[in-house]
Structure 1
Amino acid sequence: MKESTTDTKSSSEGSEENPEAKRKRISNDDLYRRSTQFEIWSYTAESLEAAKKKANAAGQIIATKRFNEAFAELKKASPEVFENNKDKLNPESLLNLITFEEESKYLNYYTPNIIQIAKFFKMPTQVKLTAVSFFKKFYLENSVMQYHPKNIMYTCVFLAAKSENYFVSIESFVKALKGTDAKDILDLEFIILSSLKFTLLVHHPFRPLYGFFLDFQAVLLHPSPLMYDVSVNTLGTLYDKAKNWLNENAVLSDVAFLFTPPQIALAAMYDVDKRVTDRYLKRKFLRDHADKLDDIKEEPENGDVKKEEAKVKIEGDKNIDNDAADSTATKTHGETSDIQTQREQYETLVRTIRKCIKVAKQVSKSPQDEVKEIDRKCFFALNPRKLIEKQVKKIAKEAAPSEVV
């Protein structure tokens, strides 16, 4: 992202006067790209899917090993039963592991529950977002066939509360969670921390969103409004809707692994109001050559908003002397090149935030009946002995003589 998209108008003007300050200026996007979150937890769409598949494959290997150990142990205890029922008691027919697609649906079901748990404890937004981030990162390193999502979910919320300095005692926390003990939470804390690689600081898009809200005012309203129907109240409404958009879309999707927080914040504003956000972006990216642009100040024409966007237009002075023609042509070429570069940067950013919007809206709710079946498979993957014993009891019941009345 071009660094000027996150700087305020005043800082931009100051840097124009001071080239040294312009070189040293660092945007929020630049700061994020220096963070451990960007270094460790940033992916392409392909590498993210590969990481998820790798976690699922590792989980299948562990679950298979766990099943084989339980099977061998029970077979040793009751060799005749296993020998006489090879068709019903064999790993191929009993072992039913969770596929990559099923695991994705299963985790999509649990993720929104994190928000509900945090709301129940009246935790601030920052805790909710951090808890979701912890949960998603954990299952990039592990599979549900290794750790059931329920207690991982609870522990992520508890750990996020501590990380964001929102105190909740373990006693009061587990008291509200049916069937959960303090040990269930505390025993998982170090496991989750290890999977997170001890990176507890999470960068969220809400802070850059507020920064853009302020910069929208500076760029679009000062020194005079660029758009006749845009005011502080209009931008305030845009900001509120963008916050809701982040909560409804970005939080539960994978955008945090694929885009930077400023890009996600801009995507929210762009999807909420494309016209206003696009005008802001054009003004930011092309402001260095504002004198070479058509007038982009928008005014009502016969009560309607003009539909045509301003176009870059460069014209040489038609009255220049012939002696200065070569010099002027060189200068014009340089200005054209600069504007073309800025235009390319603008178009790249717009494509990026459009991709972000698409990814954010791809999360679908998992059908309850499918989740119920996956949950059953998850339970037996984690507890294979119970699955085998259940089959042995079924065989014994079928072999027992019918009762005579």
Structure 2
Amino acid sequence: MPAIPRFLFSGSSDNSSSHVERFVKNQNIFIRILLLISSRFKMFPLSTQKKYWLYNDENDIAILRKEANAEFIAKHGADMPEDKREKHFLSVSEERVLQRFYESQLKEFCKRFSPPMPKPTIATALHYFKRFYLRNSVMDYHPKEILVTCVYLACKVEEFNVSIIQFVANIMGDREKASDIILNNELLLMQQLNYNLTVHNPFRPVEGLLIDIKTRFPCPSNPEKLRPYIDEFLEKVFLTDSVLLYAPSQIALAAMLHAASSTNVNLDSYVTDILFSGEHLVAIIEAVRKIRSIAKCVELPPRDLVKTLEKKLDKCRNQDNNPDSEVYKQRMQEMFDEEDLIDDEKYAKIVQNQADHDEKVLGVTKVSPGTT
């Protein structure tokens, strides 16, 4: 963006220039900035996020999770009596406990990451994690393995450039194993996301709202004081299903109004008189109310319950996708052996093609060792 001349934001020395003219100039500049900031957001109505990953209500999301759970149990518990199934496998609600726990673990991993990870990267990783488990069971793919894969993919998509070596340096334990898990799961994750990797987060709309408030609304005198409360609210929202239910602009507005409420700033007239017309106001207010209500309900599951469910998960998870299982190791070895065989065949073909070429061009026939 070209630099904005400083005189456009300061008092003019030309006495003939009216206050109105200066105000119009300043306002036009701010509007241009607002449009630039929100340019990516304006694409949201046409995005894959809106088309494929925004649901009508919480019931739609619950149905998808229930289907993923039922599909896994039907596949892996077909020979079990009904009563044994219920004890052996995780229920939908138990899966949700683990999902919520690992969402919080994902957030904490990102906050401790070195070098410091930008907020949009963290938010995108959480989006990926939520989307993945709409149609997959935690019993099929362990959350701790999908978690790091989501973060690694988000780093690429959001252009937070870290190598796989830098990335796994942030992981405790066997880093070579972690690297293998991430790289083996990366394509799977992209497939399950239907390659819809662009995520529209509420950060740009928040910046647009702050600029708009500074430009068109005289109170508060310092809108920047709202920012810490906005960030705090968004951190909570990313741990809820609101990101699968509401547009980034609605989430941004909910964050702004939460921050205003927390600092005793009244933005009611800004919303009702400046930001929205009457025909859209009721729906917007209801969406904001629901987002704020959902954010209030964010609670981490008890650690004792998580430990109990993780033990249950270890017994019922799909061993084909467990890097520590013999089944998984054997399958991976077979894949490597198959790749080696293909490489050997390719090499033999290259040698044969070269021999055929030499014979044709030079009239030389290569004799294999041991032949006369």
Is TM more than 0.5 here?
Answer: yes
Match of 2:52 in 1: 40
Match of 1:237 in 2: 225
Match of 2:315 in 1: 380
| Alpha-carbon distance between aligned partners in 1 of 2:168 and 2:107, rounded to the nearest angstrom | 17
How many residues end up aligned between the 2 structures?
A: 281
Match of 1:83 in 2: none
Amino acid corresponding to residue 43 of structure 2 in structure 1: L
Answering whether residue 303 of structure 2 is matched by residue 368 of structure 1, we say: yes
| Alpha-carbon distance between aligned partners in 2 of 1:28 and 1:216, rounded to the nearest angstrom | 20
CA RMSD after TM alignment: 2.8
Does the CA-based 8 Å contact 1:123-1:166 persist in structure 2?
yes
Over 3 Å counting, the alpha-carbon distance change for 1:62 and 1:31 in structure 2 is same
- List gaps (5 residues or longer) in structure 2: 1-25, 33-37, 323-372
Does the CA-based 8 Å contact 1:28-1:262 persist in structure 2?
no
- Structure 1 position 269, deviation (Å): 1.1
Structure number with greater CO (CA < 8 Å, separation at least 6) is 1
Does the CA-based 8 Å contact 2:41-2:200 persist in structure 1?
no
Over 3 Å counting, the alpha-carbon distance change for 1:376 and 1:241 in structure 2 is same
Amino acid corresponding to residue 146 of structure 2 in structure 1: I
Does the CA-based 8 Å contact 2:140-2:318 persist in structure 1?
no
Does the CA-based 8 Å contact 1:254-1:360 persist in structure 2?
no
Over 3 Å counting, the alpha-carbon distance change for 1:188 and 1:165 in structure 2 is same
Answering whether residue 96 of structure 2 is matched by residue 109 of structure 1, we say: no
- Structure 1 position 120, deviation (Å): 2.5
Over 3 Å counting, the alpha-carbon distance change for 1:198 and 1:384 in structure 2 is closer
- List gaps (5 residues or longer) in structure 1: 1-7, 15-25, 72-89, 222-226, 287-341, 387-405
Answering whether residue 263 of structure 2 is matched by residue 271 of structure 1, we say: no
Over 3 Å counting, the alpha-carbon distance change for 1:193 and 1:346 in structure 2 is same
Amino acid corresponding to residue 216 of structure 1 in structure 2: I
- Structure 1 position 169, deviation (Å): 2.0
Match of 1:82 in 2: none
Q: TM-score, normalised by structure 2?
A: 0.69
Match of 2:92 in 1: 100
Q: TM-score, normalised by structure 1?
A: 0.63
Deviations 1:279-329 (A, max 9, x none): 21122257xxxxxxxxxxxxxxxxxxxxxxxxxxxxxxxxxxxxxxxxxxx
Over 3 Å counting, the alpha-carbon distance change for 1:12 and 1:119 in structure 2 is closer
Matches within 5 A, 1:184-195: 184-195=181-192
| Alpha-carbon distance between aligned partners in 1 of 2:174 and 2:303, rounded to the nearest angstrom | 22
| Alpha-carbon distance between aligned partners in 2 of 1:143 and 1:93, rounded to the nearest angstrom | 19
Matches within 5 A, 1:303-318: none
Over 3 Å counting, the alpha-carbon distance change for 1:197 and 1:49 in structure 2 is same
- Structure 1 position 210, deviation (Å): 0.5
Deviations 1:32-51 (A, max 9, x none): 12111110100022211111
Q: Secondary structure at the match of 1:61?
A: helix
- Structure 1 position 347, deviation (Å): 2.5
Over 3 Å counting, the alpha-carbon distance change for 1:240 and 1:172 in structure 2 is closer
Matches within 5 A, 1:214-293: 214-221=211-218, 227=219, 230-231=220-221, 233=222, 235-247=223-235, 249-274=236-261, 276-284=266-274
Matches within 5 A, 1:112-123: 112-121=104-113, 122-123=116-117
| Alpha-carbon distance between aligned partners in 2 of 1:244 and 1:60, rounded to the nearest angstrom | 38
Amino acid corresponding to residue 47 of structure 1 in structure 2: D
Q: Secondary structure at the match of 2:133?
A: helix
Match of 1:135 in 2: 129
Match of 2:194 in 1: 197
Task: Determine which of 58, 65, 71 is the counterpart of 1:58.
Answer: 71
Does the CA-based 8 Å contact 1:208-1:261 persist in structure 2?
yes
Does the CA-based 8 Å contact 2:30-2:215 persist in structure 1?
no
Deviations 1:106-130 (A, max 9, x none): 1100001112222232222121111
Q: Which protein shows a greater Rg?
A: 1
Amino acid corresponding to residue 125 of structure 1 in structure 2: K
**Moved segments of 4+, more than 6 Å:** 11-14, 26-29
Does the CA-based 8 Å contact 1:63-1:145 persist in structure 2?
no
Amino acid corresponding to residue 186 of structure 1 in structure 2: L
Deviations 1:59-90 (A, max 9, x none): 2223325xx5xx9xxxxxxxxxxxxxxxxxx8
| Alpha-carbon distance between aligned partners in 2 of 1:208 and 1:183, rounded to the nearest angstrom | 37
Task: Determine which of 137, 153, 173 is the counterpart of 2:167.
Answer: 173
- Structure 1 position 240, deviation (Å): 3.2
